[in-house]
Amino acid sequence: MDKILQMLELQQQLNDATNGLGWENGTTKNGKIIDWKRCTYLECAELIESYPWKHWKNIDAKPDYANIKIEAVDIWHFIMSQGLEDYKKGNLGSIDTLANNITSLANFSEFSGELKEHFKDYYEQIEVVEVLMKTLFCGESTEKLMAAFIDVAIQSGLNLDALYKLYVGKNILNQFRQDHGYKDGSYVKIWNGEEDNVMMQGILDEEENISPEGLYQALETAYPKG
């Protein structure tokens, strides 16, 4: 299975369903402007907030690597969306072409291998996230943006298999949110004291081989009623 291609196809489907066909032109079906770069750098900021970088606060705290992984997956949604938009608007090729170009990147072989422990201190890890943010705004190619994300994913404790598992989980959670009032504000994000992201991750941990359909049903069962 080409996991990069499958994730790109799932993201295309999610964007088509959420934003309407033609979202690559920069607006939703409701006329809202889409800015994937802003989405990405704000998620990067949330990832950085998972590190205890503040010299005046919680000085003995440790990085929240569980949340860092979730934030990296959120960034991946927007990085893929930016790539899909770039390729469509620039006539750079199909989704298959984009997937092939990602898997040909120099750092992809490390990313697709076994999970490794990385020994950078968290200030250096933050700098890697900031390289991704700089790449967003320096007119670099889609491929360089993808490569910068892969560096962030690796240091966040994700390889391709781990990213795929969490991405599919978050993709289904996003579908669930849309089906349960996310846009009109009626969706409940805290379930029995836990954020829905945490609940989703717990389901994946308990049932490693759960199908996307099974995950959706498990979320339906766990969702607060009334």
Instruction: Residue 156: name the closest of 54, 81, 58, 46 by CA.
Output: 46
- Is 90 exceeded by the pLDDT of residue 31? yes
Distance CA 224, CA 226 (A): 7
162 CB-contact burial (10 Å; exposed 0-12 / middle 13-18 / buried 19+): middle
| pLDDT value for 118 | 65
More confident residue, 217 or 118: 217
Predicted confidence (pLDDT) at residue 148 exceeds the cutoff of 90: yes
Using the predicted structure, report yes or no on whether residue 221 has a pLDDT greater than 90: yes
pLDDT tens per residue across span 67-102: 899 899 999 999 999 999 999 999 999 999 999 999
Give the contacts of 145 (CB within 8 A, at least 6 positions apart): 79, 82, 83, 132, 135, 136
Residue 209 has pLDDT above 80, yes or no: no
* pLDDT of the residue at 4: 95
Percent of the chain with pLDDT over 70: 98
Q: How confident is the model at residue 124 (pLDDT cuts 50, 70, 90)?
A: very high
The residue extents of the domains of the chain are 3-162
* Residue 119, pLDDT score: 63
Average pLDDT, the chain: 92
Which architecture characterizes domain 3-162 according to CATH? Orthogonal Bundle (1.10)
Q: Tokens 């969306």 belong to which residue?
A: 81
Sequence-ordered list of residues with C-beta below 8 angstroms from that of 47, at least 6 positions apart, any chain: 68, 71, 72, 75, 129, 152, 156
Q: According to the model, what pLDDT value does residue 212 have?
A: 81
For the cut 90, the answer to whether the pLDDT of residue 198 exceeds it is no
User: What is the average pLDDT across 193-219?
Assistant: 87
Residue-level pLDDT at 1: 63
